[in-house]
Amino acid sequence: MSDVTPRTFRDDLLGAFNTYWTALHSDVPIAFPNVVFDPEDVGESDTGAWVRVAIVGSSEGGQIRYSNSVARNHWQRNGKITFEVYVREQASTDRIYDLVDDIALFLENPGSDFAVISNISAPVELGPDGTWFQVSLSADWLYFTDRAA
């Protein structure tokens, strides 16, 4: 348990999602936090799509002592991970919901017991001429560690 730090948790979570997503949708790129990404690189295809991932609460500070920890040092870490799915306006809403469903399956996987889905939005038109549709899916995450950040 002591090997878990906020940074390793974030890196493991994003790495697991990258592996999962690439196996299912190698044609749908991921925009990770702090990595340069230009949506225009997706191209003008009617089925063009991409996913943006944002994670909060994975900084090195701000942990909470776990309330059941009297004799041992156990710390609780929590935060939120958000997936924004974008598809071209010419694509059907089925396309965007298929992508969102696959993200939900990642979060509901028994190996991903750290996250609970907390919000899924309806498709929203984006851009000055409505060239993209977006759906957001958020999950609260939580893990315990005996390592102080």
For residue 28, what are the domain limits? 6-145
DSSP 112: G
Residue 1 lies in a domain: no
| Model pLDDT for residues 127-145, shown as the tens digit of each residue | 666 678 888 888 877 766 6
Q: What is the pLDDT of residue 102?
A: 93
Rounded CA-CA distance 32/15 in Å is: 10
Q: What is the pLDDT of residue 117?
A: 63
Tokens 């977006």 appear where? Answer: 134
Q: How many domains does the chain have?
A: 1
∠ CA 121-108-101 to the nearest 5 degrees?
45
pLDDT classification of 29: cutoffs 50, 70, 90: very high
Residue 115 lies in a domain: yes
Residue 56 lies in a domain: yes
Residue 92 lies in a domain: yes
Residue 23 lies in a domain: yes
What value does the mean pLDDT of the chain take?
Answer: 76
Q: What CATH number is associated with residue 12?
A: 3.30.2000.20
Residue 58 lies in a domain: yes
Collapsing DSSP to helix, strand or coil, 86 comes out as strand
